[in-house]
Amino acid sequence: MRLSTYFLPTLKENPADATMASHRLMVRAGLIRPLAAGIYSWLPMGWRVMKKVMEIIREEMDAIGGQEFQLPALNPIEIWEETGRVEAFGDTLFHIKNRPLVLAPTHEEIFTTIARDNMKSYRDFPQIWYQIQTKFRNEPRPRSGVIRGRQFFMKDSYTFDRSFEELDKSYLLHREAYKKIYSRSGLKFFIVGASSGAMGGTGSQEFMVESVDGEDTCALCDDCGYAANLEVASSAVKPVGRLDDSRSIEEIHTPNAKTIDQVAAFLKVSTDRLAKSLVYKTDDTAVLILMAGNDQLNEAKLTAALGKGAVPMQPEELALSTGAGAGSIGPVGLKNFRIIADKRLEDANELISGANKDDYHIAHVDLMRDVKVDGYYDLRTISAGESCPGCGHQLRVVNAIEIGHIFKLGTKYSAALHASYLDEAGEEKPIVMGSYGIGVERIIACHIEQNHDDNGIKWDKAVSPFDVHLASVNMDNKDVVAAADKVYSDLKEAGIEVLYDDRQGVTPGFKFKDADLLGMPVQVIVGERNLKQGNIELKFRSTGERKVVPSAQVLSEIKSYLAN
RNA sequence: CGGGGCGUGGCUCAGCCCGGUUAGAGCGCUUGGUUCGGGACCAAGAGGUCGUGGGUUCGAAUCCCACCGCCCCGACCA
């Protein structure tokens, strides 16, 4: 491709509204242009990268027996109502105004419908179906360039099996395929145990790229490899436990002591002996949650424990239902509440909690004796430096970008949509499903996050829009042009993708800067200086290494570089 | 949705606080010339409803109100 005729708008200056390196560079290098918040146009250079990433995905999906579909983005709203996901998605689901249609944010419903209508016998299984489709989600706040958009490409696949055992196999196939996809895309990534969230199902894992700009937070053990999203991460923190000296409860006056630290200081006890009470409500139940000391409640874990979402109760409601304000609430004698507690407090005694009376606390609380605890769950948010639950090593807590998520869905969707088959015994069974997603844009953005410097992008050859950036330093010199033209045609003939900067009247410095910004792995620089000796210069973008070689060797040098 | 910031030629920004001629700069663009190995130089040009609407005023990019858009933090995030 000759740059003189290629549409490639590059920018010298950083766009004002881009903060992440990948976002800045994708705009500056002419990969994308913003159209509206969270909506981007892919320009020819960017689309080349997109197609390469999609091709890697296709190859690895096909390798595990995946079959590619292309499904509509416009869906009748009825099938989303059948699975209850119109409500589950809420405002995130785009609705069409003048038809009862929605724009699909994912495709469980349609794929399941196709399976339901066509997969009737146990002989039809297993199946792996996938597509690479534009998804639409009305994100409340799009951000970070293409990383969180309202319209984006997702590779989504779905497996259909007869049993949970067979689902495990399909799930593992995907896990391995995903590792290959991300490795081939030149990404450093890790896998974490994750929360299934509103997707439901029996288990899930996320593929993550460490990044200070990541929206997710993960706990990592560098020793044994434990890795989990903070939504589910646990640590080997000590339980509060029982003290031998168990006394009967006693109300104590604690004026102006509201926070855990204030109460602990006032009573001169360790914060661990305090049981903090938090009040949440679901659509039908008021819930009191007991946490040890200053432990932070993890709302994702709470949702998992309750089986549904819960929101903090407002101050007015608090006073009405407990008789006290936040800071003085406690489990003893509390009516009409479901009471649950963090595992750290399991069967603990000699605790101090609120008395449901402003400025009073109750001491010597024994959760086995004085409180009807409805269950102990892991509800706390772990923090950096706590011990790994696997090996005891200190955990690291890092931000990360989610680039893929694999779910064991089980029968949630097949049950809702009545997708069943007849087994060998002629018995009707629900289809067992898995669903697996990859954010295609995120692979590109993360690749740039991990491979760039102040001058621009450093593409890995696997996803680089072109293999070679050929620059002719002086287009007015006939010899230079002739030599560059020859390199261009030789490379093309050899099947190497080459971008040829043949622009007239562009100074060498400008061309070099553009070459570094665009970031092709190999630069071939044809200039008068070296050509006089019959030489041509190669520059390797990732290392900055330069090499002057005889013109006749250029092709073989490049071939061998690209081959390994 | 809460908090904050921004909106002025294609891009990056100044001017606004303290209203007053033809609204500026750099980059980019056009033409001519000189340059030609790390974002060249000279000269001449083109290009702007100052986000939109309303208000105050003799007079609004500038002050007031409303709305829209974009970015950041938070909430949210199959």
pLDDT along chain A (564 residues), means of 10: 95 93 97 95 97 98 98 96 92 94 96 97 98 96 95 97 97 98 97 78 90 94 94 92 92 88 90 91 87 90 85 79 81 90 95 92 95 93 93 95 95 94 97 97 97 97 98 94 97 98 94 98 96 97 97 97 92
A386 residue type, one letter: E
What's the CA A460/C1' B12 distance, rounded, in angstroms? 30
Residues A428-457 as b/e (b if ≥16 CB within 10 A, e otherwise) read eebbbbbbbbbbbbbbbbbbbbbbbeeebb
Distance of CA A195 to the CA centre of its chain: 12
Instruction: Give me the DSSP letters along A167-185.
Output: HHHHHHHHHHHHHHHHHHT
Nucleotide nearest residue A311, measured CA to C1': B75
Nearest-CA residue relative to C1' of B13: A16
Nucleotide nearest to A85 (CA to C1'): B78
Q: How many CB atoms sit inside 10 A of residue A288's CB?
A: 25
Q: Dihedral of CA A507/A508/A510/A511: which sign? A: positive
Domain A250-377 coded CATH 3.90.960.10: yes
DSSP states along A20-37: SHHHHHHHHTTSEEEEET
CA–C1' A15–B50 (A): 20
**Interatomic CA–C1' length for residue A8 and nucleotide B56, angstroms:** 48
ipTM of the complex: 0.95
- pLDDT at residue A199 in the model: 64
The pTM of the full predicted model, rounded to 2 decimals, is 0.94
**Gap from A476 CA to B32 C1', Å:** 18
Q: Which amino acid is at A53?
A: V
Please tell me which residue lies nearest to nucleotide B78, judged from CA to C1'.
A199
**Angle A369-A371-A376 (CA atoms, 0-180°, nearest 5)?**
105
Give helix then strand counts, H and E, for chain A: 15, 33
* A508 nearest nucleotide via C1' and CA: B37
CA of A45 to C1' of B31 (A): 31
- What pLDDT is recorded for position A468? 98
* Rg from Cα positions in chain A: 30
Judged by C1' against the alpha carbon of A529, the nearest nucleotide is B37
CA–CA separation, A28 and A31 (whole Å): 8
A406/A436 Cα distance (integer angstroms): 4
**Protein CA at A456 to nucleotide C1' at B62, angstroms:** 39
CA distance readout (Å), A426 to A112, A121, A122, A421: 21, 9, 9, 9
* A421 CA – B68 C1', rounded, Å: 53
Nucleotide nearest to A139 (CA to C1'): B77
Give the nucleotide at minimum CA-to-C1' distance from A438.
B78
Nucleotide nearest to A135 (CA to C1'): B78
d(CA A16, C1' B5) / Å: 12
Measured to protein CB atoms, the chain B nucleotides within 7 Å are 1-2, 11-13, 26-28, 35-40, 69-78
Domain ranges of chain A: 21-234+396-448, 250-377, 466-563
CA of A472 to C1' of B35 (A): 17
Which residue's alpha carbon is at the shortest distance from the C1' of B38? A509
Determine the distance between A16 (CA) and B61 (C1') in angstroms: 21
What CATH architecture is A21-234+396-448? 2-Layer Sandwich (3.30)
pLDDT at A197: 67
* Cα A403 from chain centre: 5
- Return the closest nucleotide (C1') to the Cα of A35: B70
Specify which residue's alpha carbon is closest to the C1' of nucleotide B36: A507
Query: Is the bond preceding residue A465 a cis peptide, omega within 30 degrees?
Result: no
* Closest residue by C-alpha to C1' distance, nucleotide B39: A510
Give A16 CA → B65 C1' in Å.
29
Using the CA of A39, give the nucleotide whose C1' is nearest.
B70
A466-563 homologous superfamily? Anticodon-binding domain (3.40.50.800)
Element holding A495 (H helix, E strand): none
